[in-house]
Amino acid sequence: MAVLWLLLLVGLPTFLLGLLVWCVVHHFVTAEIPSALKNPVKLRFLHCLVLYLIALGNTLEKLRICSMPKFVRFIHDLMRIRKDPTLVVTNLHFGTIPVRLFQPKAASSNLQRDFCHSLCSCLARETDSVVLSVGYRMLPDYHHPVFLRDCLNASIHFLKDLQTYGVDPSRVVACGESIGGWAVAVVTQALVSIPNLPQIQAQVLICPIVHFINFQLPSYQQKKNIPLLTRDIVLLCMYKYLAIDPSWEDAILKGTCVPPENWTKYRKWLSSDNIPKMFQSQDPQSEFPGPFNEAAYLETNHVWNEEISPLLADDKTIAQLPKAFLVSCEYDVLRDDVLLYKKRLEDQGVPVSWYHVEDGFHGCVMLFGQKLFSFPCSLKAVSAVVSYIKGI
């Protein structure tokens, strides 16, 4: 027994150190850090940390100790939440869905707004708004469509009871970043068909994902190895959340799982032809050149559902959506998702404001206010969102 303990005490630190070294080497071999990005050392450190947590989580999953998503959630829950003395924060439940309500302490002469976002306290303070954050159910216990249904149900519950929280029904804003932006796109589309509810006045989508189909867009080629969200991480999240086997990755990346008739129908919305020339690759690749793989399509065809790929919603639904504020980052694998959705909205007459963060990368908004790990681009993006909301 003493020998086993000795092996554990020696072997575990050695393994953890070796895994860390592998992650660092992997980062420096694969990651691309554009010269325009400020504070590259901080970004490298954060990306190495992300790679390390994913690798450690995958190891624990293979050992059947716990799943990778559960491990990442455990680490996330260890982080301390800083209290803001200017806000009243209340934990509530809308049925079974946990939500957190942020309200300014000081009375305001202006009526309040709802604004859903991870930077709730900052936005509640800076915009003098009521902010609702939805505690949706997550991986590994819950897959699609639980996350989106939780966001939709919480939104409906809140919209039915705005007066209770001092929210002006004429100034409701829905906002999300990354996967939250995906939820906002889906929820605002779903609310169009639900009568007798206060209307969302504006949707704010920060670096959202709006489809899981065309991975040959310029940003997926140009930015695939730029931290913090690489193309590999996007695919990993897709496999986990949508329950797709990773063995279909080659077909997904090459587009051979896309039926020719679907491409003919939806090319007008999905093609890189819709991306402004300034963002186009100098050596563009042909889209979906390979032969159609029907088996891959049968395993991945749920991505064609508009609840998963809101970019594919019909014209009638899109035309009824509220005005939008879209934020994109130049060094983001999802940059072109924003550009495609921007054109989709504009083509149906939806007023769109767009802010492009020239030195931004995916996840920079999450880092706003994190002191040592905040970036200049974080402030730019958040300031643009705050300014837009104040103007509503």
* Residues classed as catalytic: 178, 332, 362
C-alpha span between 308 and 8 (Å, rounded)? 45
Structure tokens belonging to residue 359: 């030195």
CA proximity to 325, closest of 370, 390, 375: 390
CA proximity to 392, closest of 178, 123, 185: 123
CA distances from 244 to 140, 190, 248, 310, 347 (A): 14, 25, 8, 19, 32
Please tell me whether residue 332 adopts helix, strand or coil conformation.
coil
Please identify which residue in the block is written with the tokens 């921007």: 342
Whether 87 and 124 have beta carbons less than 8 Å apart is answered as yes
186's CB contacts (< 8 A; 6+ apart) are 148, 151, 152, 307, 310
C-alpha span between 324 and 306 (Å, rounded)? 19
The residues that bridge with 329 in the sheet, in sequence order, are 357
Specify burial of residue 288 (Cβ count, 10 A radius: 0-12, 13-18, 19+). Answer: buried
C-alpha span between 170 and 111 (Å, rounded)? 9
247's CB contacts (< 8 A; 6+ apart) are none
C-alpha span between 215 and 280 (Å, rounded)? 14
Please identify which residue in the block is written with the tokens 């592998």: 22
